[in-house]
Amino acid sequence: MKYRTLLWLVFIMCFMTTSAFAISIDINNLLKNWLTNSSAFDVFPDGKVNTLDFGKAIIPNPSPTPSTLPSSSSVVHTPVWIEVSTGFTDVTSRQIVRAKNDRVYIFGGQAETSRVLKAYWTTNSGLPTTSNNFNGTTQVTDPNMVVQTDAAYDGNSTIFVSVYTQTTTNSATVLRIYPFDISSNTFKTPLTIDAGALSLPPSGSPYYLGSGGVSGMFDKTGIFHIAYWSSGNNISHRAYTYNVSTNTLILISGPTQINILGPANHPHLAISPLDNSVTIAWLSQAATPQILARTKLVGSNWGSIQTVSNAPVWTSNNFGKNVDQGPSMVIDSTGVKHLTYMGNDSYGHIHYATSNGGSWTDVALPAYSHDPAITLDANGTLYIFGHGHSLSTTQDNGCKSDRNMCFLKKPAGESWSPQTLFAAQQTQGHFDASPSVKWSVVGWHRPEYAEFVWFRVNGGSYANTTIMYGRY
Q: Residue 17 in 3-state DSSP? A: helix
Helix (H) or strand (E) holding 82: strand 80-86
pLDDT of residue 34: 37
d(C-alpha 73, C-alpha 13), whole Å: 34
Write the CB contacts of 43 (distance below 8 Å, at least 6 apart in sequence).
35, 36, 49, 50
pLDDT of residue 78: 94
Residue 201 CB-half CA count within 13 A: 11
Write the CB contacts of 400 (distance below 8 Å, at least 6 apart in sequence).
388, 389, 390, 392, 394
d(C-alpha 107, C-alpha 94), whole Å: 9
Q: Give the tens place of pLDDT for each residue, 33-83.
A: 433 333 333 333 333 333 222 222 222 233 344 444 444 447 889 999 999
* Residue-by-residue DSSP string for 119-166: EEE-SSSS---SGGG--EEEEEE-SSEEEEEEEEE-SSSEEEEEEEEE
Q: Give the tens place of pLDDT for each residue, 410-426.
A: 999 999 999 999 999 99
d(C-alpha 301, C-alpha 227), whole Å: 16
Backbone angles phi, psi at 201, to 5 degrees: -55, 160
Neighbours of 12 (CB within 10 A): 12
Tell me how long the chain is: 472
Say how far residue 414 (Cα) sits from the centre of its chain: 24
Distances (CA, A) of 345 to 204, 282, 341, 378: 31, 19, 12, 33
Strands (E), 260-304: 264-271, 278-284, 290-296
pLDDT of residue 200: 61
Neighbours of 366 (CB within 10 A): 14
The rounded radius of gyration (Å) of the Cα atoms in the chain is: 24
What b/e readout covers 319-343, taking b as 16+ CB neighbours within 10 angstroms? Answer: bbbbbbbbbbbbbbeeeebbbbbbb
Q: Which amino acid is at 209?
A: L
Q: Which stretches in the chain have pLDDT values below 50?
A: 1-73, 202
CB 116 within 8 A of CB 139: yes
Backbone angles phi, psi at 397, to 5 degrees: -60, -25
d(C-alpha 3, C-alpha 250), whole Å: 46
Q: Residue 224 in 3-state DSSP? A: strand
CB 192 within 8 A of CB 199: no
Backbone angles phi, psi at 423, to 5 degrees: -150, 130
pLDDT of residue 354: 98
Write the CB contacts of 296 (distance below 8 Å, at least 6 apart in sequence).
277, 278, 279, 302, 303
d(C-alpha 197, C-alpha 377), whole Å: 34
Distances (CA, A) of 426 to 98, 129, 256, 433: 27, 18, 45, 13
Q: Which amino acid is at 207?
A: Y
pTM reported for the whole predicted model: 0.84
d(C-alpha 336, C-alpha 277), whole Å: 12
pLDDT of residue 203: 52
